[in-house]
Amino acid sequence: MEKPTKSQLLKYYEGMEPQLFIQYDGSDMYEQCEHPIFLDDDGHELSITFTYELMARADVRVQIDPNSPRDNTLMLLSKIMEHFKKDETVLVDAKDELQKHNRRKELTENLLKEKLSVSDAEYLIDKLKEVKDV
């Protein structure tokens, strides 16, 4: 397998649509994870976040640094699995995020179909601000 160039990767992902993923990261190096949720007694750090990526959708995707020792990789995968089993809200929260995005997209498309004038849009924004302040 030949390593692609940055421009080749950008061209490859150019036509893809952003997909929502639940991202778990695990590391044995303190402060390595972007969004740490905890550091355990073994010095392993885990994080979880929602992220939009330009990747084909898959039910589960696992990416492993080839330089990670096998035993360490297995330990981190096990800890991620344990956390996923205990966290009953993560999938619900991700689905809520998707629904919120889809509602916004649908609302935007409907408003654009109506060909709102700038003054109509400003009026709508003002009304939304009033509701938000209440």
Within-domain flag for 16: yes
Do 69 and 31 belong to one domain?
yes
Q: Write out the residue range of the structural domain in which residue 36 sits.
A: 6-87
Identify the helix (H) or strand (E) that includes residue 51.
strand 45-53
Digit-by-digit pLDDT tens for the chain (134 residues) are 999 999 999 999 998 999 999 898 888 765 555 665 677 778 788 888 889 999 888 899 999 999 999 999 999 999 999 888 888 888 888 888 888 888 888 877 777 777 777 777 788 788 788 876 64
Q: What does the buried/exposed string (b/e) look like for 102-122 if buried means 16 or more CB atoms within 10 Å of the residue's CB? A: eeeeeeeeeeeeeeeeeeeee
* DSSP reduced 3-state for 133: helix
Do 79 and 127 belong to one domain?
no
Do 58 and 80 belong to one domain?
yes
pTM of this structure: 0.68
Quote the number of domains for the chain.
Answer: 2
Alpha-carbon gap, residue 98 to 101, rounded angstroms: 5
Residues 94-124: tens digit of each pLDDT: 888 888 888 888 877 777 777 777 777 788 7
